[in-house]
A and B are shown apart, each in its own frame.
Chain A
Amino acid sequence: MIRELHAFPGGLPLAHYMEWTCGEESLLQPLPARIVLPLQQHIGLPATPIVNMGDKVLKGQKIAAASGYVSVSIHASTSGTVTDIGDHPAPHPAGITARCIVIEPDGEDHWYDIRPVDEYTTVDPRRLQEVIRDCGISGLGGAGFPAHVKINEGVENAVDTLIINGVECEPYITCDDRLIQEKASYVVAGTRMIGHAVQAKHRVIAVESDMPAAYAALARLVGDDIELVQVPARYPAGGEKQLIQVITGKEVPCGGLAIHIGILVQNVATAAAVYRAVTRGEPVVSRYVTVAGAVPRPRNLQVLLGTPVTDCLRTCGYEPQPGERIILGGPMMGQHLRSTDVPITKTSNCILVQQEPEPAVELPCIRCGNCATACPIRLLPQQLYLDTRAGNYDAARQHHLFDCIECGCCSYVCPSHIPLVQYYRHAKSHISAEERRRDGADHARSRFEARNDRLRADASAETQRESAGNTASANSEYVRAAVERTLARRQARDAGPDGETGSHD
C-alpha cells in the first residue's frame, strides 16, 4: 500500500550537507578519562542518585532512579568508581551547570548483570513499559521525552499509527541515517516491539527522501506489518507535529499530545534502544553523534554517554580555534556551547563547528511576513515578537506562544535579523517560572521549590535564554504540566474508550 503524503505549512528547503558524514561508517569513540552523567537528560524530573561517592559501579548499572512518573533512570556508561555527585557544566536548560554523577572509568568496561525479557510477544505490555523505563530510554531524537510515558499513553489509548521517526531533524545531522544503515535490524525489531507494546494498528517507519541507503537497508527487513515511507526533505519534517501531518494528514490538537489523535511517534534510535533493552536487558549507555561542520574529519561516532564533547571533537581531528562556534545539535535548533567540557547526553545528536557569523544588526520589524510564511505552526511570529518584547505575556499566550516549536524558521528568514526565537524562549521561561510560583502557593513544599526555582530563574535568566538549546527543554515544564493534566483527567474519568482519543479511520 502506498501511503498518500501530505504537506505541512511553511518550513524551509534547507541544504542538508549530509553527504559529508552519511556515507562513512561510524567510529567507536574511545573511553574518556572521566564520565559525567547529568541526572537530567530527559524532559521531566531529574533522576535521584542511588549510589554514593566512592562506590564501584559496572557498565549498565543503574546509578540514579527515575523520580516520579515523568522521569527515567540513569545508568553507568562504563565500569569504574563514582568520584563525585555534584554540579558540573552540562548542556542543561536551567543553567550552565547541573547535578551530575561523575565516574572515573577503570578501563575494563565490565558489564553489569543485565537480563533480557524472554519473549516479548508474550509479555504483558505493561511489563514492557517497565523494561523501557528501567533501561533509561527517553526520546533519543533530540527532545528527550521519556519513552515509557508516551508508550503508556499508547497502552491506555488506542494507537492507530505508530510512527518511527528516521527523518533527520536538521541539516548536517546524519546520526539516525547512520544508525539505520548500521543497525537496521535493531530498528525494525524495536519497531515491532513498541508496536506490540501499544498494539498499534499501523506501524510506519519514516525516512527522508535523501536517505537512499537507509531506506534500502530498512526495505530489506520490513514485512507487511511495517510501512516504510520516504518523506520529502523539507525542514522541519522531522519535527513530531510536522511528521504526523505529513504521514497522516492530521494535526495534533493545540495544547494536546499526538496520542490524542491516536498517534505515537518514537525516534529510530529509541526503537533500537528498545530492541536492546528487551532482547538483552541493555540500558541506554551510548548513542550515535554526528560531528560535522568545520572539522577536519567529519564523522559519526558511537559515544558513551557522559563523554566530553572535547573528546569527540578531537577524534575528528579538531582543535579549538578562535572565531568558531561550537553547537550541540543542529544549526537551526542547536545550543551554543561556551565550553566543550560538557558531556554527551541522551539527547545530543550532533556537534557542529561553524564559523562565527558576522554580527548582524537587529533592525525593527518591517512586517514583511516572511516569518509567518515560514512558520510550520502557522503562528504570527511578528506578533509574538511584539508581544514578548513588550513583556505582554498574556497576549503572547493568546497568540499561541506555547505552540511554538522553536524550529527557528522565522529567525532564519527575517530580513531585519531579529532573534525571534530568543524572545520566545525568554518569554516561555518567564511564564513557566511565574506559573510554578503561582501553582505552588498552597503548598509549603511546592512553595519552597518554587522559591528555589525563582531564585535560580532570576540568577540565570540570561544563561537560560542562551542555553535552552532545544525546544523540548524550554518547553519541558509546559509539557510536564500537559501530561499531568491528561493523567489527572483520565483518572477522573471512566476507563471506557472515549470518542476523542479513539481511533476511527
Chain B
Amino acid sequence: MTEPMVISSPHRHVGITVRGVMVRVAAALAPGILVYLWIFGPGVLIQCVLAMATAVATEALILRWRGRPIRTALGDGSVIVTGLLLALCLSPLTPWWVTLMATVFAVALGKHAFGGLGQNLFNPAMAGFVFVLLCFPAPMNKWPAVPAAGAPAPGLMNSLGVIFVPKAEAVDAVSGASALNHMKSRLGLMEMVSEIRSDPVYGNFGGRGWEWIAMAWLAGGVALLVLGVIRWHIPAAFIAGMTCVSGITWLMNADVYAAPVFHLATPGAMLGAFFIATDPVTAATSDRGRLAYGVLIGILAGLLRIWGIYPDGIAFAVLIGNACAPVIDRYTQPRVLGVAG
C-alpha cells in the first residue's frame, strides 16, 4: 500500500520563506554598502564578494560531504547573508586570506559544526570575525583613512592591490584608524574627549564618514522593522543597554568617557543592533526574552568598548549573548493562556 499523502491544515501560508527573509536582509544592507562604497571606495565590495563566494563554496563543499541536498540549503540564502555580514564587519583593507579564513571558520565551524541552518548556538559571522581577530590582530586593526574633504576615495586598482598584494607601504598609504580605534588610543594617551573630538577624523556625532554609514545601517534596520522581518525588541533593547552604560560613564566623567551618541553613531553599533543581534537562530525567542537579550548585548558591548582591550566589543558581546540565549529563553517563557501566573 502506498503511503497516503498527508495534507494537513492550514491550507494557506502567509507566503514568507527563509529565502525571502534573507533577500530582504540583504536588500536592507544595500544603502549602507553604497555609503561605504562612496566614502571608502570599492574595498568593501571586494570584501563582500570575496566573503560571499567563500561562504557559498564552503557550504556547498560541506553539504556535499555530509550528503545533504545542496540546492535547497544554498537556496535559502542564509549563508550568503552570513558572508555579507562578516565582510561588513571587517575593514575594507583586510588582506584576502584573512577574509577567507574568517568566512571558512564562520560557515564550517560556526554553522555546520552545530548541524547547519537553525542549529548553531553562535552567530556564524561573529564567530568567524572573532576567530581572525584573535589570530591576526595586526591586519584587523588597519582601517582606511577617511579621505580629506574633496579628495576622491581610493580607486578599484588601489583597493585590489591593498587586499590581494599586501605590501606594507601600500597599506600604510591608505590606512588610518576607525573612530573607535582612534578614540581608544588617544584616551590611552591621557587626552580628554573634548580634545580628541576636535581632531578632523570626527564628524558631528561620531567618526567623520563613519557616522554616515551608521545612519545608513539604521535606515536599513528601520526598513526591516517596517517590513516585519525583524521586531523592535532586540534593537531597542540593544540601544538602550549601550546608551545606559555609556551614559552613566559619560555623566560620571565626560572628560574620559565619550558620550552615548558617539557610541551609537558607529557603524558597529547600528549593524550590531539591527542586523547581527537580530539573527533569529542565535537570539532569544520570546518578546521578553529578546528584550533581556538585547539589553545584555548592549551593556556588554558598551562595557567592552570602554574597558576592553579591543576597540570594539560588539562581536564578543553578541557571542556572549548567544551563549546566554538558551538560559534567557528558559526564564522568559510566556505564560500560557489560562495558566495562573
**Complex CA distance for A370 and B18, rounded to whole angstroms:** 12
The yes or no answer to B106 lying at the interface (CB within 8 A) is no
Chain A residues within an 8 Å CB radius of B12:
171, 331-332, 412
**Complex CA distance for A354 and B9, rounded to whole angstroms:** 13
Chain B residues within an 8 Å CB radius of A367:
118, 280-281, 283, 285
**Complex CA distance for A108 and B260, rounded to whole angstroms:** 85
| Given A412-B14, A416-B118, A466:B337 Cβ within 8 A | no
The yes or no answer to B255 lying at the interface (CB within 8 A) is no
A254 B10 Cβ-Cβ under 8 A: no
Residue B4 contacts which of A251, A252, A338 (CB distance < 8 angstroms)? A338
Chain A residues within an 8 Å CB radius of B117:
363-364, 366
**Complex CA distance for A411 and B9, rounded to whole angstroms:** 9
Chain B residues within an 8 Å CB radius of A259:
none
Kindly identify, within residues 1 to 51 of chain B, every residue whose CB is under 8 Å from any CB belonging to chain A.
Answer: 3-14, 16-18, 20-21
A366 B337 Cβ-Cβ under 8 A: no
**Complex CA distance for A311 and B18, rounded to whole angstroms:** 41
Chain B interface size, as a band, is 35 or more
The yes or no answer to A241 lying at the interface (CB within 8 A) is yes
**Complex CA distance for A255 and B10, rounded to whole angstroms:** 24
Residue B11 contacts which of A357, A361, A378, A416 (CB distance < 8 angstroms)? A357
Chain B residues within an 8 Å CB radius of A365:
118
Min CB–CB distance A472 → chain B (angstroms): 13
Main secondary structure of the interface of A (DSSP, over half): loop
| Given A380-B285, A413-B14, A415-B18, A465:B335 Cβ within 8 A | no
Residue A333 contacts which of B9, B13, B16, B78 (CB distance < 8 angstroms)? B9
Residue A363 contacts which of B6, B18, B231 (CB distance < 8 angstroms)? B18
B337 A336 Cβ-Cβ under 8 A: no
Chain B residues within an 8 Å CB radius of A238:
none
The yes or no answer to A373 lying at the interface (CB within 8 A) is yes
A403 B11 Cβ-Cβ under 8 A: no
Residue B10 contacts which of A9, A332, A462 (CB distance < 8 angstroms)? A332
B118 A251 Cβ-Cβ under 8 A: no
Find the A residue at minimum CB distance from B334. A378
**A 373-390 to B, binary, CB cutoff 8 A, 1 in contact else 0:** 100111110100000000
Residue B336 contacts which of A332, A378, A419, A465 (CB distance < 8 angstroms)? A378
The yes or no answer to B338 lying at the interface (CB within 8 A) is yes
The yes or no answer to A283 lying at the interface (CB within 8 A) is no
B9 A332 Cβ-Cβ under 8 A: yes
| Given A331-B11, A361-B72, A466:B6 Cβ within 8 A | yes
Chain B residues within an 8 Å CB radius of A241:
337-338
Chain B residues within an 8 Å CB radius of A357:
11, 13
| Given A364-B117, A416-B18, A462-B4, A403:B336 Cβ within 8 A | yes
**Complex CA distance for A64 and B228, rounded to whole angstroms:** 53
The yes or no answer to A116 lying at the interface (CB within 8 A) is no
**Complex CA distance for A416 and B14, rounded to whole angstroms:** 11
A466 B338 Cβ-Cβ under 8 A: no
Chain A residues within an 8 Å CB radius of B176:
none
Min CB–CB distance A43 → chain B (angstroms): 18
The yes or no answer to B253 lying at the interface (CB within 8 A) is no
Find the B residue at minimum CB distance from A336. B7
**Complex CA distance for A469 and B118, rounded to whole angstroms:** 30
The yes or no answer to B185 lying at the interface (CB within 8 A) is no
**A 460-501 to B, binary, CB cutoff 8 A, 1 in contact else 0:** 001101100100000000000000000000000000000000
Min CB–CB distance A470 → chain B (angstroms): 8
Report which residue of A366, A378, A469 has the largest number of chain B beta carbons within 10 angstroms of its beta carbon.
A366
B336 A400 Cβ-Cβ under 8 A: yes
Min CB–CB distance A350 → chain B (angstroms): 12
| Given A254-B338, A331-B12, A364-B117, A369:B7 Cβ within 8 A | no
Min CB–CB distance A474 → chain B (angstroms): 11
| Given A364-B117, A373-B287, A376-B337, A411:B10 Cβ within 8 A | yes
Chain B residues within an 8 Å CB radius of A329:
9
| Given A363-B18, A365-B118, A416-B118, A253:B10 Cβ within 8 A | no
**B 270-295 to A, binary, CB cutoff 8 A, 1 in contact else 0:** 00000000001101011100100000
B337 A9 Cβ-Cβ under 8 A: yes
Min CB–CB distance A375 → chain B (angstroms): 9
The yes or no answer to B194 lying at the interface (CB within 8 A) is no
Kindly identify, within residues 46 to 80 of chain B, every residue whose CB is under 8 Å from any CB belonging to chain A.
Answer: 72, 76, 78
The yes or no answer to A141 lying at the interface (CB within 8 A) is no
| Given A364-B118, A367-B118, A373-B287, A378:B337 Cβ within 8 A | yes
Chain A residues within an 8 Å CB radius of B14:
12, 412-413
Kindly identify, within residues 245 to 285 of chain A, every residue whose CB is under 8 Å from any CB belonging to chain B.
Answer: 245, 251-256
Kindly identify, within residues 310 to 341 of chain A, every residue whose CB is under 8 Å from any CB belonging to chain B.
Answer: 325, 327, 329, 331-336, 338
The yes or no answer to A372 lying at the interface (CB within 8 A) is yes
**Complex CA distance for A9 and B267, rounded to whole angstroms:** 36
Q: List 24 A-B contacts (CB under 8 A).
A: A241-B337, A253-B340, A325-B7, A332-B11, A352-B11, A360-B13, A364-B116, A366-B18, A369-B286, A372-B285, A373-B287, A377-B336, A378-B335, A403-B338, A408-B9, A411-B13, A412-B13, A415-B18, A415-B21, A417-B13, A417-B17, A421-B9, A421-B10, A469-B9
Known pairs A368-B21, A400-B339, A466-B8 / 16 extra A-B pairs, C-beta < 8 Å: A245-B337, A254-B339, A335-B9, A352-B11, A361-B72, A363-B18, A363-B118, A367-B118, A367-B285, A376-B337, A377-B337, A412-B13, A413-B16, A415-B16, A462-B4, A466-B5
